[in-house]
Chains A and B, each alone.
Chain A
Amino acid sequence: MSGLEGLYQQIILDHSKARHGDGPLEVMDAEHHELNPTCGDEITMRIRLDQAHAHIEQLAWQGDGCSISMASASVLVDLVRGIRVEDALELADEFRTMLRSRGVGDPDEERLGDAVAFQGVARYVMRVKCAMLSWVALEACIAKVRARDAS
């Protein structure tokens, strides 16, 4: 696989057009706007949790950016909708570790699912932020809910 096809795997190109979860979310527990100042890519992530605040019941995003950032948000929605908040945070960590690996090591395909397609991004230092944009926004949403719960 050439460098470019390794970066832009078909699954990424498909998700960048399908944009799962793209849209508003009327009833929500938190929202967060995240911006990549180097390119102007931006995303607003919104999440709704169950009553116990243990599971991510629903989430949606609106944004504008490169195919990597948009595809990453689409994959994120598929992966974390309905799962435990703890597991979503662990997944974010795992995704971040993969992106910072510079392409070394084997990510857990079982857990990361379609997100494994972003392994190629790890070799492009300038694009890691693009792939992380939606995940950072998700983490911030969860942090906001928890800060509120704690007070």
Chain B
Amino acid sequence: MTHTDADSIGGRAIADIRLDFPAFDVTGGVRAPARLDSAATSQRPRSVLDAERDYLEHHLAPVHRGASAEVGVSTTLFEDARAEVARFVGAGEREVVWAQNATDAINMVALGIADASAGIGGADVAGLALRPGDEIVLTEAEHHANLLPWQRLAARTGAVLRPIPVDERGLWTIDDAVRAISDRTRIVAFAEVSNVTGFIAPVGDMVELAHARGALVVLDACQSVPHRPVDFAAQGVDFAAFSGHKMLGPNGIGVLYGRAELLDALPPARTGGSTITKVTMETAEFLPAPHRFEAGTQPVSQAVGLAAAARYLHGIGMDAIARHEEAFAERVLDGVAAIPGVRVVGPPAGIPRAGLVAVAVEGVHAHDVGQYLDEAGVVVRVGHHCAQPLHRALGLTATTRASAHVYTTADEADRFVDALAGVRRFFGVEQGVSA
């Protein structure tokens, strides 16, 4: 059993882990800001930056093209990166497709199904096709990236979106899902971890429920893969998406996971060079997954960097990281509970929650809260976090979110709480709080 508390992970001190991150180099006695916005973009360890730079300095060549030895080395590095990322999330090598980011990955699924519905891909992919009246079930808590592509797919096919509603805390239950999922359901899409509430979805139950009705499960894993152990094969999900820049890796790269037989059938949303077996002036035949989806020159240095990020996270241990970040959330919840006029969204204390906490301050807009915190040296995310339907359900336009990663300290959690305690006084709204 590894020891975990707020200031160490698996026996390794956070102070030591922070030395791996150039962003935390402090010069001239300047106190580094408390960076609590990793759910938006995480900082990168030197090993990730070095891996990218090493590739660019020594191995840059057009992968999968030509016959030189250099191309061979570059291609090997590229495909090894895929294999490493695949292992990290419990996927086969052919089940990891490079995308620009998670948004792009979800769009690849939705657009591919739209193509299948339009008859592209022929009888082989008819099983993926949607017909008017078919239903796409998704929760009201979804990030716009896991909502808008499905709205578009519905508009293209005549399918209908059926939401799983959230309660006044932004939470939903498997019972809510049971009521929404029916024999007409073809796709069930949801986030494993909500980017606003920190709610951890019952993935196993959802997969069972969806598969019993013959529906596909699409998992938004953006806030889970970077922070906790994830095994897509064990979960049994059909498709999943996550981004590099939230998991200590580069921008410009993300992953579409799909079960191999589904990826081999899904029509590629984007077509072009290096996706094909045979091309005539009229037709094209596509490679099996993953290359059928990777049209044009790929983000190779980013793939190499992403593999380095997976290696770094694995080295620390995903179980230990999850416990560390849950401890951060508990510490913030404890502190915030003592501040009058602050409403916490998401699971109450004692219920599992990932390492992020979003709050609304009574009488003060989230942008003003964020500005005050920024001045106090605490960097958070303010706004609707690309989840407007969720905020509408909460009766809020915007919230203030603090989120953690491997490098986040207990002191940073306390600095957030301390700064938050001063907000209402500064904006002159302290009177009239119902405690």
Residues of chain B lying within 8 A (CB to CB) of residue A17: 428
List the one stretch of A38-46, A101-109, A142-150 in contact with chain B: A38-46
Shortest B59–chain A CB gap in Å is 38
Q: Encode A1-41 as 1/0 by CB contact (under 8 A) with B.
A: 01110011000010001000000000000000000001111
The answer to whether A4 and B367 touch (CB under 8 A), given A13-B427, A40-B397, is: no
Contact A40 B388 (CB under 8 A): yes
User: Are B397 and A67 in contact (CB-based, < 8 A)?
Assistant: no
Bound-state CA distance A3–B371 (Å) is: 10
Interfacial chain B residues near A66, Cβ < 8 Å: 365-368
Q: Are A127 and B397 in contact (CB under 8 A)?
A: no
Per the bound structure, the CA–CA distance linking A59 and B222 in Å amounts to 46
For B185-226 the 0/1 string (1 means CB < 8 A from A) is 000000000000000000000000000000000000000000
Instruction: Tell me whether A64 is interfacial, beta carbon within 8 Å.
Output: yes
A130 in contact with B375 given A13-B428, A39-B383, A40-B384 (CB within 8 Å): no
- Interface residue B398 (Cβ < 8 Å from any Cβ of A): yes
A4 near B371 with CB under 8 A, answer yes
Chain B residues with CB below 8 A from A4, complex form: 371-372, 375, 426
Q: How far is the CA of A41 from the CA of B397 in the complex (A)?
A: 8
The residue of chain A having its C-beta at the shortest distance from the C-beta of B372 within the complex is A4
Contact of A40 among B364, B372, B391 (CB under 8 A): B391
Q: With both chains docked as a complex, state the minimum distance between the C-beta of A8 and any C-beta of chain B, in angstroms.
A: 8
Contact with B along A45-75 (1 / 0, CB 8 A): 0000000000000000000111110000000
Give the CA-CA distance A46 to B427 in the complex, in Å: 28
Contacts of A65 in B (CB 8 A): 365, 367, 397
Query: Taking the complex as formed, is B382 at the interface, i.e. its CB lies under 8 A from any CB of chain A?
Result: yes
Q: Tell me which of B375, B384, B397 contacts A64 (CB under 8 A).
A: B397
Expressed in whole angstroms, the Cα–Cα distance for A41 and B383 within the complex equals: 9
For A39, the chain B residues whose CB sits under 8 A away are 365-367, 382-384, 397-398
Q: Specify which chain B residues have a CB less than 8 angstroms from the CB of A13 in the assembled complex.
A: 427-428
Q: B395-435 toward A: CB 8 Å interface, digit per residue (1/0)?
A: 00110000000000000000000000000001110000000
**Residues of chain B with a CB closer than 8 A to A7's CB:** 371
What residues of A have a CB within 8 angstroms of the CB of B397 in the complex?
39-41, 64-65
Output the least CB separation between B101 and chain A (Å). 19
B368 in contact with A2 (CB, 8 Å): no
Question: Chain A contacts of B398 at CB under 8 A?
Answer: 39-40
The residues in B between 168 and 195 inclusive whose CB is less than 8 angstroms from any CB of A are none
Q: How far is the CA of A13 from the CA of B375 in the complex (A)?
A: 17
- A119 to B: closest C-beta gap in Å: 16
Q: List B residues 343-373 near A (Cβ within 8 Å).
A: 364-368, 371-372
Q: B375 to chain A: which residues have CB within 8 Å?
A: 2-4
Per the bound structure, the CA–CA distance linking A68 and B366 in Å amounts to 12
Q: How far is the CA of A66 from the CA of B365 in the complex (A)?
A: 5
Q: Can you list, as one digit per residue, whether each of B119-152 has a CB less than 8 Å from chain A (1) or not (0)?
A: 0000000000000000000000000000000000
Given B371, B383, B428, which contacts A127 in the complex, CB threshold below 8 Å? B371
Verify B383–A67 contact, CB threshold 8 A.
no
Q: How far is the CB of B431 from chain A (nearest CB, A)?
A: 12
CB distance from B152 to the nearest CB of A (A): 18
Q: Which residues of B contact A130 (CB under 8 A)?
A: 367
Which of chain B's residues have a CB closer than 8 A to the CB of A68? 367-368
Contact B367 A127 (CB under 8 A): yes
Contact A40 B427, CB 8 Å, known A4-B371, A66-B365, A66-B368: no
In the bound complex, CA of A126 to CA of B403 (Å)? 21
Could you tell me the distance in whole angstroms from the C-beta of B396 to the nearest C-beta in chain A?
Answer: 9
In whole angstroms, how far apart are the Cα atoms of A2 and B383 in the complex? Answer: 25
Chain A contacts with B in 94-149, Cβ cutoff 8 A:
124, 127, 130
Greatest chain B CB density within 10 A among A2, A3, A40 is at: A40
A41 to B365, CA, bound (A): 9
User: Residue of B at shortest CB range from A38?
Assistant: B383
Cross-chain contact B427 with A67 (CB below 8 angstroms):
yes
Q: Which residues of A contact B365 (CB under 8 A)?
A: 39, 41, 65-67
Residue numbers in B under 8 Å from A127 (CB-CB): 367, 371
CB nearest to A40 among chain B residues: B397
CB distance from B342 to the nearest CB of A (A): 17
Q: List 10 A-B contacts (CB under 8 A).
A: A8-B368, A8-B371, A8-B426, A13-B427, A17-B428, A39-B365, A39-B384, A39-B397, A40-B397, A65-B367
Name A residues whose Cβ lies closer than 8 Å to a Cβ of B: 2-4, 7-8, 13, 17, 38-41, 64-68, 124, 127, 130
Q: Which 7 A-B pairs have the closest CB atoms?
A: A66-B365, A66-B367, A40-B397, A4-B375, A39-B383, A67-B368, A66-B368
Known: A4-B371, A67-B365. 17 other contacts (CB 8 A): A8-B368, A8-B371, A8-B427, A17-B428, A38-B383, A39-B366, A40-B383, A40-B398, A41-B397, A66-B365, A66-B367, A66-B368, A67-B368, A67-B427, A68-B368, A127-B367, A130-B367
